[in-house]
Every structure is written in C-alpha cells, then in structure tokens.
C-alpha cells in the first residue's frame, strides 16, 4: 500500500477514466494528478470520552423532537448523491470496518472497477463520487495482507481486550477479518464483561470519512460519467453480520445482536458528529442521508437498526446538541423495496404522538415502545425500562466551535480542526519514508 496510487474506471462505450492520487498525512488531503483536492480524509474517534453506560444499556429514551428529526425517504443512492440540491450533504454508506466494500470476509477487492459488479448501496455510493476516494481506501484498507492498514476498530478492540484482562482471566477473541467483525460464541458468564468492555470503549471507535469529495463518478446506469459538479461527504460505516458470514456457525444470536447494536450506535454517532461539525463550520444546516446499517444479508433486525439510530441521536441530545436544528437527517431506504420504508417509518415513529398522549411515560420522557418480537429477543445486559437520562458527556462533534470541551488540533491548511481522544492516535496509520503505509 502507498501514499500514491492510480485508479481507472470504465464509463461505457469503451471509455475509461484514468487518474492518480496522492495523500498527505499531515494535511489529510487526498489530491489528484494535477494537485487538485479530491477530499479530506478523517478517521477520528466517534466521541471525545466514554459514553454514558446507562444510556447504552437500555432501549432509547427520547423526547418527541428526537423522532421528528429523522425523516424516511426512498430513493436510489447514486441519484441522491448526484442531485444538485444535495450539494454539501453527508452520505453514510454501508461498508466494512476498513472503509472498503468486500463481498465477503474471504474476498479482498483491489480495484474500484470491481465495485461495478456489486449492486448494493455501499459500492454504488462509492462509484457515484470521484474514484480516487474509493481506490485510496482499497489500497490502504486493513486486510489479511495489510494488517496495519485503515481500521475503524483497531483501538476499540484493544480497549475491549484491556478491559477484559482487568476483570477476568478468561480470554475472548473479538477480532476483525478483512473488515468483518468476528463475534465467536461467548460463555454466558463472560458475556456481561465483554458487553461492559464494548460500552466502555465505544467512544474510541473511528469514523471513516471523505469530506467534500466531487460527485463526479458514474451515473446510475454505470455506463456514463456523472455531470454533477458539486461535492458531498461520504462516511464509511458498518455493522456486524449476525449469524452470517464468519459468524454463521455461532449459536448466541442474542449476544451477537447486542454487540451489533452497540457497533451500529457508534457508527451512526460518529457520522452525525462529523455532520454537526460541518454544520458549525458552515453556519448552516447540513443534510445527512443515513442508510440502514446491517440489514439484508447481515441479518440485523429493523428494530435493532432503528433503536441504534435513535440512541445515537439521543446521545447527541444529552451532549446539548440540537440535532434537529443543525441537521436535516434522512433515512434513505431502497426505492425498489417499498416495505422497507413503511417498516422503518413505523419503528422511528413508535411511541410518539397518539401513543404519547394515551400512555405518557414517567417524568415526561418518551420511551420508544418495543414490539412483541423485541421483547421476546431482549439481548443480555440490556434494560428496557425507562430511566432518567445519564449526565451528558462533554462535548460535541469533532470540530472546534461545536466541541468547546476539547482542545482541537489543527490538521488542515484551511483551518479545519479535529479533536482526538486522549491516548488514541489521530490516525490508525502513518507513512514510512519509502511511501508505504504502516500502523502507528
């Protein structure tokens, strides 16, 4: 892997777009062969300090405004990225935990051109923007032959294992293989310790983001180049496969599902913090398109995905951030599957309006109701009873004006700033003198 590379992408009729990229570790800028800016890459922690344990244990407890700040729209990811009205928007794409999009934990993709064979939202979203962004990630993603590459859970997993060593002599091999998180069967007596370690370490998970990348990739047909001239930001987020892929033979579904819920909370939280930072810098409301993380072949139930989304919004609210004021959050469901939109709308609106009037929760808090299915499959170590919100953790998105509680470090020529969690390197990787990428 290298700080420099080339990319090519066929765009129909025999035409092929070719180019080169260079990445500057100091400024975090990805540029093309002319020196023009392709994007700014960031991989900072999703929160500056540990998240309230009580808030992570329970089903989301939210005010009516929390539900109203997320709308559900159906559409097609490339079309949405290319709409001029979405200039400056953030798009949260399902990917792997290394930022790449591999079809399985045993198959490593090496060229952005290969994404054309995968018709799911994540690869199509990456094809919608400048191909150098995707190729840089593919060239530097952590995988079997590049263990020190980009990895959103490197520090997180080390912290979880450190927590386990402090409370028990038993070992548990939570690990990543080619961007997929392996969650082996875990003895019931050890599960509470693993989940506690995950909750205590969740803030160290990284948010992988390409900011301000040109929406100049391929058209929805993948047979022509986009004519769009605006820029968007791409967040590469992931869930875990529940009893699927490398977790297929594991019997503890409820445990896997709870680990998965916490991972999704962290991924959505990081994405929304990044967008809030952009909103503060621009002094304008920012549009954010979330995609359902972990649905489909990853087997995460819609209830779990909706709960994680709501929990992320509520965690930001407890930090004093007005998500509805600063962000226009839209959950993008697939237009070809109308039942998905109906399902997610129902889950996100559950517990509001009429239900709130008929069954007001204690202390004025709105508890999102849980379905019969959710009650029957309650994961371990999770309290569903409403409770007062835990004290807010200090501060905000990874930007100076929004996160006054942390001292930002200037990382880019334009004054862009990003805070880091104490003890966590700014990047999971650094470049060797010969241009190679190595883990810090």
**CATH number of the domain enclosing 304:** 3.40.220.10
Per-residue model confidence (pLDDT) at position 350: 72
> Domains in the chain: how many in total?
1
Give pLDDT, residue 426: 53
pTM to 2 decimal places? 0.81
What's the pLDDT at 66? Answer: 54
Q: Does residue 373 sit within a domain?
A: no
Q: Are 28 and 411 in contact (CB under 8 A)?
A: yes
Q: Does residue 363 lie in a domain region? A: no
Q: Is residue 416 part of a domain?
A: no
Q: What is the pLDDT of residue 36?
A: 97
In a domain, 359, yes or no: no
β-pair type (208-214, 231-237) = antiparallel
**What local confidence, expressed as pLDDT, does residue 424 receive?**
52
The burial class, CB within 10 Å (0-12 / 13-18 / 19+), for 2 is middle
Taking the C-alpha atoms of residue 240 and residue 234, their distance in angstroms, rounded to an integer, is 20
236 vs 220: CA distance, rounded Å:
20
At residue 60, the pLDDT reads: 58
Going by the DSSP 8-state scheme, the letter that residue 173 receives in this structure is -
Residues of the chain under the 70 pLDDT cut? 1-2, 59-67, 351-440
Q: Which residues, 6 or more positions from 261, have their beta carbon under 8 angstroms from its beta carbon?
A: 300, 304, 307, 308, 379
pLDDT in tens, 375-423: 333 344 433 222 222 322 333 333 333 233 333 333 333 333 333 444 4
Q: Is residue 147 part of a domain?
A: yes
- Residue 152 belongs to what domain range? 43-350
CB 340 within 8 A of CB 72: no
Angle between helices 338-349 and 302-318 (to 10 degrees): 40
93-113 pLDDT, tens digit each: 999 999 999 999 999 999 999
Residue 5 falls inside a structural domain? no
| pLDDT for 434 | 37
CA–CA dist 58, 262 (Å, integer): 11
**pLDDT confidence of residue 25:** 94
Cα-Cα-Cα-Cα dihedral of 294, 299, 304, 310, to 10°?
Answer: 20
411 falls within a domain:
no
For residue 377, being part of any structural domain is answered with no
């Amino acid at each position: 892997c290298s700080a420099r590379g080339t990319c090519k992408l066929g765009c129909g009729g025999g035409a092929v777009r070719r180019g080169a990229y260079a990445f500057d570790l100091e400024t975090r800028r990805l540029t093309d062969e002319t020196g023009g800016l392709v994007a700014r890459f960031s991989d900072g922690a999703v929160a500056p300090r540990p998240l309230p344990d009580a808030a992570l244990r329970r089903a989301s407890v939210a005010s009516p405004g929390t539900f109203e700040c997320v709308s559900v729209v159906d559409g097609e990811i490339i079309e949405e990225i290319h709409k001029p009205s979405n200039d400056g928007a953030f798009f949260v794409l399902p990917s792997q935990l290394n930022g790449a999009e591999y079809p399985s934990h045993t198959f490593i993709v090496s060229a952005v051109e290969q994404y054309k064979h995968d018709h799911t939202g994540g690869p199509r979203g990456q094809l919608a923007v400048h191909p150098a962004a995707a190729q840089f990630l593919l060239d530097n993603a952590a995988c079997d032959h590049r263990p020190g590459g980009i990895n959103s859970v490197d520090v997180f997993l080390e912290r979880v294992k450190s927590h386990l060593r402090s409370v028990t002599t038993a070992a548990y091999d939570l690990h990543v293989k080619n961007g997929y998180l392996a969650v082996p069967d875990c003895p019931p007596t050890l599960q509470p310790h693993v989940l506690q370690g995950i909750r205590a370490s969740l803030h160290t998970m990284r948010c992988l983001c390409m900011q301000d990348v040109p929406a100049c990739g391929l058209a929805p047909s993948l047979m022509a180049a986009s004519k769009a001239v605006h820029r968007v930001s791409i967040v590469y987020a992931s869930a875990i496969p529940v009893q699927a892929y490398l977790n297929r033979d594991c019997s503890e579904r409820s445990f896997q599902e709870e680990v998965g819920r916490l991972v999704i909370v962290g991924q959505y939280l990081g994405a929304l913090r990044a967008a809030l930072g952009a909103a503060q810098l621009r002094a304008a409301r920012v549009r954010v398109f979330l995609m359902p993380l972990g649905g489909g072949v990853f087997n995460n139930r819609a209830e779990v995905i909706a709960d994680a989304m709501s929990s992320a919004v509520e965690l930001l609210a407890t930090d004093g951030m007005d998500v509805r004021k600063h962000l226009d959050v839209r959950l993008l469901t697939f237009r070809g599957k109308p039942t998905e939109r109906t399902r997610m709308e129902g889950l996100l609106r559950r517990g509001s309006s009429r239900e709130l009037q008929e069954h007001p929760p204690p202390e004025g808090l709105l508890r999102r109701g849980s379905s019969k299915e959710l009650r029957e499959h309650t994961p371990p170590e999770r309290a569903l009873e409403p409770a007062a919100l835990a004290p807010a953790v200090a501060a905000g998105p990874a930007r100076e004006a929004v996160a006054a509680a942390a001292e930002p470090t200037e990382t880019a020529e334009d004054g862009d700033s990003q805070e880091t969690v104490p003890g966590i390197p700014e990047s999971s990787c650094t470049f060797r003198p010969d241009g190679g990428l190595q883990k810090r």
